[in-house]
Chains A and B, each alone.
Chain A
Amino acid sequence: MPIQYYIALASCLFCIGVVGVLTRRNAIIIFMCIELMLNAVNLLLVAFSKMSFGAHPGASEIAAGTDAQLFVFFIMVVAAAEVSVGLAIIVMMYRNIHSVDINFLNRLKN
C-alpha cells in the first residue's frame, strides 16, 4: 500500500485524539484519547518500518525495520506504566473531589 495512506490514517487517528482531548471534560476519556494518539503514532512507526525495509531490499534485511518496531514496543511499555500511574492519579482525584471533571482542576490558577 502507498505509505501516504498510512500517514493519512495515522494523522486522522491522531487528530481525532486531539479533538477528543479538546472537547471532553472527563479525565478518563481524555486519558483514553491520549492512548489513541499514542496508537496512531505506533501505527505510523510500524508502517514506516515496513517502508524502510521495502526501500532497501537486500541491505541488512533483518535490522532495517526492527528498530522502529522495537521502538513501538518500548512505547507500549512506557504507555502501560503511564496508564497505571495516570489512573492512580485520577482515582485519587476522584476520591478527593468526587468528580473526574477536569474543570474542577482549575486550582492551577492559584
Chain B
Amino acid sequence: MNSIVSLVPLFPLLGFLINGLFRKSLSKTAAGIIGSGAVLLSFIISVYLFSDIKGNEGYIVNLFDFINVASFKISFAFQVDQLSVLFLLIITGIGFLIHVYSTAYMKEEVPADFARYFAYLNLFVFSMLLLVLGANYVIMFIGWEGVGLCSYLLIGYWFSNTDYNYAAKKAFIMNRIGDLGFLLAIFWILGKLGTATYSEVFDLRNTLSETDITAITLLLFVGACGKSAQIPLYTWLPDAMAGPTPVSALIHAATMVTAGVYMIARSNVLYAMSEVSSDVVAVVGLATAILAGTIALYQNDIKKVLAYSTVSQLGFMFLALGVGAYTTGVFHVMTHAFFKALMFLGAGSVIHAMGGEQDITKMGGLYKKLPKTTWTFVIGVLAISGFPFTSGFISKDEILISVFEKSQVLYWFAVFAAVLTAAYMFRLMWLVFFGGFRGTHEQEHHLHESPAAMTIPLIILAILALVGGFVQLPEAFGGKEYFNEFLSPVVPAMSHEGSSVATTEYYMLTGTVIGLAVIYFLTRKKFAVSMFEGVYTGVKKFLADKWYIDELYDAFIVNPLNAFAGFLKSVVERSGIDGLVNGVGRFVNYSSRQVRLLQSGQVGSYILFMVLSITVFFLVFWNQDNIAHFLTNIF
C-alpha cells in the first residue's frame, strides 16, 4: 500500500504527456477533462494518504536508485509524512480548483494552445509534487527546477508578446540565482555528509560545524529567496503576472512560491541550530513584507497589487520561520493559498468580465454585475486583512504572537506590515467593486458574471478562506491547535505557554477590530468613488514606481553586465577570440600558400631539399643524446 504515493505525481505526469503529445488532436473539452481529472485523482489519493498518515510515523518509499556511484548513493525516493501530505493536499486540492476554473477562463484559446496550457499546468503540478514528495534534497531540486521551468513556460504562455517573454526570462534568470544557492547548499551537504536524504542529514547534523550549518542554511535561504520572491530576488514575481491569471493563482500565489517556505520548514532542524540564519530569514522576511506592502499601496494594476501582496505575505511566512514558528509559517502557507488563490481567481473573473482590462482606475462598482465574484473577493480581502476568526486572522495572529515572544521591535514592524496589508487590500476592494464605474460604456455593457466553472471554485475557496483557520484556533478562543498537533511529528510547534498569551490574543483581537474599522472608513471615503486618477506624485510616486528597485538593478547589475557582455562581444570576441581563431586559419592558409611554392616541380630543388634533409638527419643522428637530454630538461 506504500507505493500508492507514487500514483500522486504519476497522474499529472500522464496528463501532461497525453495533453502534450496529442494537443493537436484533442478537443478543448477532452484536454480540460484530462488535465483536471489527473489532478483530481491525485487529490483523492492525497486525501487517502492524509487519513492514513494521521497520527502515524512518516515513511520513505524507495522507487529506484537515481545516482549510484561507489559508496555515494542517491535514491529516487518519496517521503510521506505529515508535512509532505499537507502540501500534497494544498497543491492537488487548490490545483484541481484552478484547473476547473481554467477550463472556463481559457476557453477562448485555440484547442492546441488550450491543450498546451493544460499540459504545462499538469507538468507544473507533477514537478511541485515531486518537490514536496522527494525524500532528499536532490529530488527536491529536480522538482524545484521543474516548477521553475513550468513557471517560465506559463508566464511566457502568450509567447507572441515580447514583454511577456521578457517577464518569463526575468523570472527564470532570477530563479537561477536562487537555484545556484540551493545547489551549492546541496553540494555542501553532500560534501560534508555524503548523503542528501533528509532523515540522514538531520541525524548527522551534530557532526557539522557551526560554520557549515550557517553556510548551508544561508545558501538554502538564497534558494528560497529566488523561488519565494524575497528581497533581493523578488522583482520577478510582479512581472510574472504576464501569465494567465489562473497560473498566477496556482503558481505565483498558492504553490510554487511557497516552495521556499516548504524547504525551510523541511530543514527546520538545521535552521533551529543556527541563530544567525534564523535571524537573517526573519529580518529579510519582514523587510520584504513591508517593502512589498508599501509598493502594493499605490499599484493600479489589479494583478500587480495581488502580486505584491503575495510577496508581502511570503515575507510574513519567512518571518514566522525565522522566529522559529515553523508550523505557523506552514499554516500561513495554507491559509494564504486559500485566500490568495481566491483573490487571484476573483481578479481573473473581473478581468474576464472587463474583457482583459486590468487597470483598477477603469473599474468600480462591479458588485452590481458580478455579485458572486464580489462577495467571494470581499471574503478574501477580509481573510487577508485579518478580520477576526477568518483563516487569515488566525494565521497572522499566530505569526505576530510568535514574533512578539521573540522580539518587540520586529513585532511592531510586523504589525505595521499587517496594517499595510489591510490598507492596500481595502483600497483594491473599494476601487474594483464599489463606487462608480469608471470604464467605457462598451466595457460596462460587456460586464457579466462568470460561468459556473469559475464561480464554483471561487465559492469553495471562499468557504475555505473563511473557516480554514479553525483547525488552528488558539486556545484563548476556545479552539484547539489541531494543525500543530498534526505536524508535530515532523515540525515542532512553537509553544505559547503562559497566561500572558491569552491576554495578548485578546488585545490583538481588539486591536485588529479597531484597526480594520479605521481602515474601512478611511479607505471607503477615499476609494469608493466614481472618479479616480491613479496618478501619484512625491513619495507616493516613489512607492508606485516600486522604490525604483528595478531601475536600481538595471543600473547596477543589468546594465554593467550588458556593457561587460557587449565589451566581451565586440572586443574580446571579435578581435580576441575571432582574431585568434581566424588568425590560426589565416596563418595556416598563408603558410600553406608559401609552402606550396616549395612544390615547384623543379627536380633540382627537390634534390636540394633531399640533401639538406640528409644533413639534418645526420646531425640529429649524431647528436641524439644531446637532443634527448635537452628535451628531458625542457619537459
Interface residues on A, range: 10 to 19
B604 interfacial contact with A, CB 8 Å: yes
Are A109 and B611 neighbours in the complex by a CB distance under 8 Å? no
How far is the CB of A6 from the nearest CB of chain B, in Å?
20
Contact A25 B601 (CB under 8 A): no
In which size bucket is the chain B interface? Answer: under 10
Task: Flag whether A60 is at the interface (Cβ < 8 A).
Answer: no
B601: chain A residues at CB < 8 Å are 105-110
Q: Is B68 in contact with chain A by the CB < 8 A criterion?
A: no
B608: Cβ under 8 A from any A Cβ: yes
- The smallest C-beta distance from B489 to any residue of chain A, in angstroms, reads 89
Q: How far is the CA of A102 from the CA of B607 in the complex (A)?
A: 12
How many A-B residue contacts, CB cutoff 8 Å?
26
For the complex formed, measure the closest distance between the CB of B360 and the CB atoms of chain A, giving whole angstroms. Answer: 84
Is residue A77 contacting chain B, with contact meaning CB distance below 8 A? no
Given the interface contacts A102-B604, A103-B604, does A18 sit within 8 Å of B599 by beta carbon? no
A22 contacts which of B599, B600, B611 (Cβ < 8 Å)? B611
Q: Which residues of B contact A18 (CB under 8 A)?
A: 611
Kindly list chain A residues whose C-beta atoms are within 8 Å of the C-beta of B602: 102-103, 106
Q: Which of B599, B603, B608, B611 has the most C-beta atoms of chain A within 10 angstroms of its own C-beta?
A: B603
| Distance in Å: Cβ of A44 to nearest Cβ of chain B | 16
Distance in angstroms from A107 CB to nearest chain B CB is 7
Interface residue from A21, A106, A107 paired with B607 (Cβ < 8 Å): A21
Complex-state Cα separation, A109 to B599, whole angstroms: 7
Q: Which of A65-105 contact B (CB under 8 A)?
A: 102-103, 105
User: By the criterion CB–CB under 8 Å, are B603 and A22 in contact?
Assistant: no
Distance of A82 from chain B, by nearest CB (Å)? 17
Contact between A109 and B600 (Cβ–Cβ < 8 Å)? yes
Complex-state Cα separation, A105 to B606, whole angstroms: 12
Contacts of A110 in B (CB 8 A): 601
Chain A residues whose C-beta falls within 8 Å of the C-beta of B608 in the assembled complex = 22
Chain B contacts for A25, CB-based, 8 A: 604
**Within 8 Å CB of A103, what residues of B?**
602-604
* Docked pose: A106 CA to B608 CA in angstroms: 15
Q: Which residues of B contact A21 (CB under 8 A)?
A: 607
Which residues in window 603-624 of B have CB below 8 A to A?
603-604, 607-608, 611
Q: Which residue of A lies closest to B606 (CB)?
A: A108
Closest 6 CB pairs of A and B: A109-B601, A106-B601, A108-B601, A102-B603, A106-B602, A22-B608
User: A residues engaging B (CB < 8 A)?
Assistant: 18, 21-22, 25, 102-103, 105-110
| B residues whose Cβ falls under 8 Å from a Cβ of A | 599-604, 607-608, 611
Known: A22-B608, A106-B602. 14 other contacts (CB 8 A): A18-B611, A21-B607, A22-B604, A102-B602, A102-B603, A102-B604, A103-B603, A105-B601, A105-B603, A106-B600, A106-B601, A106-B603, A109-B599, A110-B601
